[in-house]
Structure 1
């Protein structure tokens, strides 16, 4: 690590040398034949990583927040009722985004360090008339892990669209989008996907696409509108040039590189590796008499660990000391 610092934050992460090399190649045209092939390959590789062979992938220049914004903009119309299941900062952010598009939101959140129970979720779905429910797979602010499968089952039972914020989980935690019938799974490039920041990545189910196609009002966000982006995705997959907004060419070349590495490892193997590493990391934390924020290991994420500062130690001072020793960690998002 001589001459550089070890990056130990949720994202950007430490990237594979092959990915960084892909970023450094001369930039080609976004309608060049070789780039069209790269883009098409990336879309198909996403289906493998998401385990969604029937899904519609989108690759758009932007952040994870844009991916959240795209899901809300395209699936929400004014007056729609939406259930937001929150385990931290980013659950509440989704609530704010949904309300920008006129949604009537209901927020369910558990005490800090816990997750909302399935019983509470089902009780709310029984009493309400919801079009959509959203939940965060792994919330960066708390390190809490939510099991998507039973929540997706409840969404199907009550005929509600399910949107999974997988910014901190896709390609690191277990996700079977088609099998679990999740309608939207979204993420960003800079975390477990393993590409520098700048790409919003989203997979929509056929059901979600039908809901979008049958909406009664135009999408009120021009840049996020699938009306503009779907023809681009379709054209690239068909091997044809197309244009709406100039894509982040080098990032997408890097995306294809990283997705190939991920697929070569195999999703089941990759998820198991994250689980084993997280288990070992938490054992090390416990051996130092430190505590993690999740109340139990069963709801602790495998893609990041939220660790309390040692009692009686100033967090800012500790972080500064670690930076001086060439290790960078992330400070907390939640004041409490």
Structure 2
């Protein structure tokens, strides 16, 4: 059978990830391949680490990508720190808190969870009191929960963890590059980001950073492992409980040797993805963190203005809304998947459904990275109105685009640029 040349349709991707990739990133991915120990390539590795520190707002020595989707970075940090029997606290306010729980359990942790209603986040003091009650080795928590469109405050939790000698590991996959995340100021010990959301890079790498407190745990475990020097000694350990990192691929101590000055071979680096990440980070820093955060916020405001003017209801507590994801309640009597299908097939626009108790009840519209542009907001609002009318929904015809344009006009008077 003869296969045709790859020719994917043009889409306007307004999901919480993946999002549209910046054209400059796509061009960077066509750069010729280098050997992973070529000095030119190791220089690129060093540049990526330096830029990651700036985006993460940290002075940590360690900031590098794990090859794999965002979950790879989450698993790498957790499996390298957790030892069988360790107490871990996971506050759950959406789907990805359950994912953190599962990963911790797979590595033998004694997991303690607290939950709040989806669409809400925790009062930080509630989490702090639970930390005192449980006395965990670490707390694993999501910052931006894309399943509910909510963002958990962290500024008090990190300080409490430092006082109580508890490690704080944060999933910031949906917020890095689009929302202010202060790793050092908030006393975050380990943080995981993603490429396919606000960084506007294809899925396939998970940037992480961690401080000396986590490195101390990793170093201790590494020394214990090196104490077993012979194959006979290793065979004795088979089937026995031991503190060694069970994963080879996600072993941070080995990745640290690979990314550090020793450059010890661990895996073959994903060359083109590293090019992509470097360019994505360069674009973020060129725009400036504060300007980038403001851009995400102003497009979110225009989207919300349009949705509400149309007569749609937002889901979740507005006080804890994640600026990069807007959740919309599906109108009564409307088939949510039929609406999504028509948006995709007739307009080439993709928005997302949700998970678990929210499946079929809300749509999720992402405003992330390169997808977060005025033309995308206006196109999505106009198309959604047309599709809802075709589905018999009651909407305030013609109001959405005018409200969004009014929002942009108001922002322009405040010296914002609304063309990007």
Task: State the TM-score, normalizing by the size of structure 2.
Answer: 0.76
Counterpart in the other structure of 1:293: 315
User: Which residue of the partner structure matches residue 151 of structure 2?
Assistant: 145
Q: 1:253 to 1:221 in 2, by over 3 A?
A: same
State how 1:99-118 maps to structure 2 within 5 Å.
Answer: 99-118=105-124
- 1:230-241 paired onto structure 2 within 5 Å: 230-235=256-261
Q: Which runs of 5+ in 1 are unaligned?
A: none
Partners of 2:307 and 2:113 lie apart in 1 by 32
Q: Where do 5+ consecutive residues of structure 2 fail to align?
A: 1-8, 225-242, 359-420
Q: CA deviation at 1:242?
A: 4.5
C-alpha change, 1:103 and 1:241, in structure 2 (3 Å) is: closer
Deviates more, 1:319-328 or 1:207-216: 207-216
1:274 aligns with 2:280: no
Indicate the RMSD between aligned Cα atoms, in angstroms.
Answer: 1.7
Query: How do residues 200-211 of structure 1 correspond to structure 2 at under 5 angstroms?
Result: 200-211=206-217
Contact conserved, 1:11 with 1:190, CA < 8 A, in 2?
Answer: yes
- Distance across 2 between alignment mates of 1:4 and 1:264: 27
For 1:241 and 1:130, how far apart are their aligned partners in 2? 34
Quick check: 286-295 or 60-69, which moved more? 286-295
Q: How many residues align?
A: 330
- The runs of at least 4 consecutive aligned structure 1 residues that moved more than 6 Å come to none
Match of 2:204 in 1: 198
Q: Which protein has greater RCO, CA pairs closer than 8 Å, 6+ apart?
A: 1
When Rg is computed on C-alpha atoms for both structures, the one with the higher figure is: 2
* Deviation string, structure 1 residues 176-211 (Cα, Å, up to 9, x no partner): 111221001101211112210100211001111112
Q: Which residue does the alignment assign to 1:174? A: 180
Q: Does structure 1 conserve the Cα–Cα contact (< 8 Å) formed by 2:189 and 2:213?
A: yes
Shift of 1:327: 0.4
Partner in structure 2 of residue 320 of structure 1? 341
Q: Deviations over 1:196-237 (max 9, x none)?
A: 0100211001111112222462211111112211111113xx
User: Which residue number corresponds to residue 10 of structure 1?
Assistant: 16
| CA-CA distance at 1:130 after TM superposition | 0.9
Q: Give the TM-score of the pair, scaled to structure 1.
A: 0.94
Equivalent in the alignment of 1:45: 51
Pair 1:308 & 2:329 matched: yes
1:31 touches 1:242 (CA, 8 Å); kept in 2? no
